[in-house]
Structure 1
Amino acid sequence: MDLNHIIESYRDEIIRSTQELVAIPSVEGEPQPGKPFGEDVYRALDYVLTLGRRLGFETKNVDGYAGHIEFGQGEKMLGILTHLDVVPEGSGWTYPPYGGEIHDGRIYGRGAIDDKGPTIAVLYAMKAVMQSGIPVNKKVRLILGTDEESGWEDLKYYFKREAVPDFGMSPDGRYPIINAEKGILHIALCKKFSSGQKSSIGIEKIYGGQRPNVVPDECICVFGPGVDREKLIKDIENLKSKSGYTIEVELGDRDTVIVKSIGQLAHASMPEKGKNAIGQMLLCLSALGLGYSEMERFIAFLSEAIGMQVDGQSMGLALEDQLSGKLTLNLGMIQVDSQVGRAVIDIRYPVSFEEQEILARIHMVADMHGVEVEVLDHQGPLYVPEDHFLVQTLKKVYAEQTGQPAYTVAIGGGTYARAIKNAVAFGAVFPGKPEMAHQRNEYIEIEDLMMNAKIYAHAIAELVK
């Protein structure tokens, strides 16, 4: 039977399964026994494994860190790596972020495109290949991660206990084929402040951002008691009219003034698509006139070295290559009070550069201001040559199923493809479609969901026949 007809026969199941999975708010939570990333992340993992068993596959839960669903036989293994955790939903949604509601042919909800819809598409693609009776001479394993949006502790744990696939793909990027992914470096810029110093303009604390890999949409600065509230509010209003910054001011308890910077969420791999609320706050505070306390000097350093920049130019990081393009930088989190300042940065660097070269450039700037640099996480770049059999096969499948030209692209995003050798990102966002991952009102179009399932079914069949 034709694979596409089989997939169409699953249409209602694919839609319903995607809705049910999106309805689970699988943001990382407090660890519990057997549930290392919290109750809701475990619920998502259990849901998909249960669905896999119901569809006739062998499944395994690896201590709540990850799981897999598989069929086929042979010495070689095709791995398809997806994830079930999501970033926090943020604010300002038109539809409930965990409603899985359908509007205008789209399933809305956090994780709909990143990466729950594609996970369901792969699962039913596997079912279609198995039902079709196409001869399979390799194992096909869908690996379900649960910590992709944070530290990848899931796959680190999983691959210490389970076989590593010989080659694979991850449906967590864009079509046609992503064969190059930039290196990802998360660092913290930190400085401890001497006791007894006070901000000359009354800053008590600053906080904002949810994760390094998300462009922050909110940053708060609290001005303490004793600040000239009328002057402060007037100065901010004048600054807003001149700069176009989106700033809100309200009176807090204890005679404090709360200043809120409003930005636009986006994925850190494309920071230019968002509006960084932390950077906007730093520039606003600098424009108000910072003093010379250690806290204010730290704020001024961040404002001058980063501000609203997304290319790292003032940090000496304006780098690029032909394979993967320009370096990007996102100031994702900040925490400043009278004792310490800490800013967390996400850097995506071109594939031809090395981690140590990036760090050396950062140290040159940070050391001059007495700011410490702490490496939080690093993932090396990914590159699979275009003449590799995997790339050539997926190009063929994509062109045949869509009627569109197939080509390779490079991204700043970090997919699970880099977790194994000989792997690429393949879908699930089609050319010309907006990138909704990590954004409010995230969705997947139902017809795109179905086309993904068809493409993945043909890809699996071609790669394992």
Structure 2
Amino acid sequence: MEINWQKEVEARKDDLLKDLFDLLRINSERDDNKKTADAPFGPGPRDALKHMLAYGERDGFTVKNVDNYAGHIEFGEGDETLGIFGHMDVVPAGDGWQTDPYEPELKDGKIFARGSSDDKGPSMAAYYGMKIVRDLGLPLSKKIRFVVGSDEESGWGDMNYYFEHEEKPDFGFSPDAEFPIINGEKGNITLGAHFHGNNEGEYRLKSFAAGLRENMVPGAANAKVILPNDKAALEMEKAFYDFVEKNPVTGTITVEGVEASLELVGKSAHGASPQSGINAGTFLALFLDQFKFGGGAKQFLHVAGTIIHEDFYGEKLGVAYEDEKMGKLTMNAGLFAFKESTDGFQADNFIAMNFRYPKGITAEGLEISIDGNLGMQGASITHNERNMLPHYVPEDDPLVATLLSVYEDHTGEKGHEKIIGGGTYGRLLERGVAYGAMFPGYVDTMHQANEFMTLDDLLRATAIYADAIYRLAK
């Protein structure tokens, strides 16, 4: 049977865009301050999840909501289940947008909105791909289940809960990365370096803050400093503007008497590619580290501004490692917090370092090394509960081979395997991968201001997903 998949997508283009734009208008940032039993990650992720599931109900699929943690949309029969995994939550919008991040705009062939490329746009493309296969009444031998998550950008608590109540699909993909395929993902763990909140120098650090999520490069940072005298205030002000002029950052400093308020702006980026951003947190610490701070404040600034500043591959931390297939370990310092206090180590005085590590090393080994190196700098090291192990599906697996074949047929380009530092729902399954929706050469705006997905890529991806779903389930 010869099917013109692109024609089928074009016939549904207006409906697809309307559904996507309505979904993008929902601010689905996680908000723990507003979480309830009915909204485990806050009202935004819940509302986006329910909105997506409502599309499935409208279109006649079997739909299940698992207590507003996650849900699924499915059809078909068979002994095996093909799983497709998307997520409705988004990272915080942050600053620097030229449009309203939650009022999508289509201009110059690009859809601008938070979530347009990560992951509401690709999820909608995959959903419409599934819908086309169902609408055409094509013969299938497997069940198809679209699993919709709501906590992918944070702790994956949605999937933990979902799979306590539902069986895992047998194989599948997540439309949450790049074409031609992502069949390998590095391990992922966050380590926290905690510090005393005391000041023992001529200068006092009252507060320091940077970052929105551990998996985002901080695009902005701020600090409040008490200076020893008026002369020191004038010297810091001059030094600050000299620093800004010589470095790839912008910023302001406001001095009132002997108190200075500093703000620095860099460039946000996805934490899996920290070298693509400009970490405002480490740059601000680099500037402040030259002054005579003491105690825990000095240790905090020195670690942030000297040891982990631009240490994208863990070389200064002493944990650099490279695997022939999976590539280099990367480190993103995503969250910084310091408040002056006199009580020992403080849970809220910390730097969160997110590591993406290849096979050949372990999270335990990382923690031991970091504890040894930063312990000498006065830090106490902790780890978060989520440790994702490196994941790989061989290139000759039928799932990978089929998806690469579909990509080649639609693009005329040779498919090949790829391994990334990012973590996707594809790793939830032993035979799970990430597949699109970004094409080679795309401009990566995930986790950044002015996030967009091109309309052409959205429509091309939808056709590829429809064909791939059919080939995998027929």
Q: Normalization by structure 1: what TM-score? A: 0.96
The SS at the match of 1:352 is: coil
Measured in 1, the distance between the counterparts of 2:184 and 2:294 equals 45
Q: How many angstroms apart in 2 are the aligned matches of 1:432 and 1:111?
A: 20
Return the letter of the residue paired with 2:351: A
Change (3 A) 1:398 1:244: closer
What is the alpha-carbon distance in structure 2 between the residues aligned to residue 21 and residue 291 of structure 1? 48
1:55 deviation in Å?
Answer: 1.2
Taking the TM superposition and a 5 Å limit, the aligned residue runs for 1:190-229 are 190-193=194-197, 197-224=199-226, 227-228=229-230, 229=233
Distance (whole Å) between structure 2 residues aligned to residue 463 and residue 352 of structure 1: 32
- Please give the residue correspondences for 1:366-381 in structure 2 after superposition, counting only pairs within 5 Å: 366-376=374-384, 377-381=386-390
The root-mean-square deviation of aligned C-alpha atoms, in Å, is 1.6
Q: Give the corresponding residue for 1:11.
A: 13
Identical pairs, percent:
36
2:178 and 2:437 in contact (8 A); partners too: yes
Equivalent position of 2:361 in the other structure: 353
Structure 1 residue 203 displacement after superposition = 2.0
Contact 2:105 2:112 in 1 (8 A): yes
Q: After TM superposition, where is structure 1 displaced by more than 4 Å over at least 4 residues in a row? A: 242-245
In the alignment, structure 1 residue 281 sits paired with structure 2 residue 284: yes
Which residue pairs with 1:310 in the alignment?
312
What SS class does the counterpart of residue 313 from structure 1 fall into?
A: coil
CA contact (8 A) 1:311 1:329 kept: yes
How many Å apart are 1:305 and its aligned residue?
2.0
Runs of 5+ unmatched residues, structure 2:
none
| Residue 226 of structure 1, CA deviation | 5.6
The change in CA–CA distance for 1:199 and 1:23 in structure 2 (over 3 A counts) is farther
Deviation at 1:244, TM superposition (A): 5.1
> What is the one-letter code of the residue matched to 1:269?
A
**Are residue 151 (structure 1) and residue 148 (structure 2) matched?**
no
2:253 corresponds in structure 1 to: 249
The number of residues matched between the two structures is 461
Mapped contact 1:191–1:372 kept (Cα < 8 A): yes
CA separation of 1:246 and 1:227: change in aligned 2, threshold 3 A? farther
For the residues of structure 2 that align with 1:309 and 1:419, how far apart are their CA atoms? 30
1:90-169 alignment runs, 5 A limit: 90-169=94-173
* Equivalent position of 1:362 in the other structure: 370
Aligned pairs for 1:232-271 within 5 A: 232-243=236-247, 245-251=249-255, 256-271=259-274
Cα distance, 1:198 vs structure 2: 4.1
Question: In the TM superposition, what is the alpha-carbon distance from 1:292 to its structure 2 partner?
Answer: 3.1
Q: Secondary structure at the match of 1:92?
A: coil
Q: Which residue of 1 aligns with 2:24?
A: 22
**Alignment match of 2:37 (pick from 18, 33, 36):** 33
State which of 397, 400, 418 in structure 2 corresponds to 1:388.
397
- Cα distance 1:284–1:164, how it changes in 2: closer, same or farther (>3 A)? same
Are residues 1:74 and 2:62 paired?
Answer: no
Alignment partners' CA distance in 1, 2:249 and 2:76? 56
Paired amino acid for 2:38: G
TM-score (norm 2): 0.94
* 1:325 shift after superposition: 0.9
Instruction: Give the whole-Å Cα distance in 1 for the aligned partners of 2:323 and 2:150.
Output: 32
Q: Which one of 442, 447, 454 corresponds to residue 438 of structure 1?
A: 447
Check conservation: 1:351, 1:383, Cα contact below 8 A. no
Structure 1 distance, partners of 2:269, 2:87, is 19
* Code of the aligned partner of 2:402: T
Distance in structure 2 (CA, Å) of the matches to 1:201 and 1:255 = 10
Residue of structure 2 equivalent to 1:290: 292
Unaligned runs of 5+ in 1: none
In the superposition, relative to structure 1, how do residues 37 and 227 fare at CA in structure 2: closer, same or farther (>3 Å)? farther
User: Is residue 15–residue 446 contact of structure 1 (8 Å, CA) maintained in 2?
Assistant: no
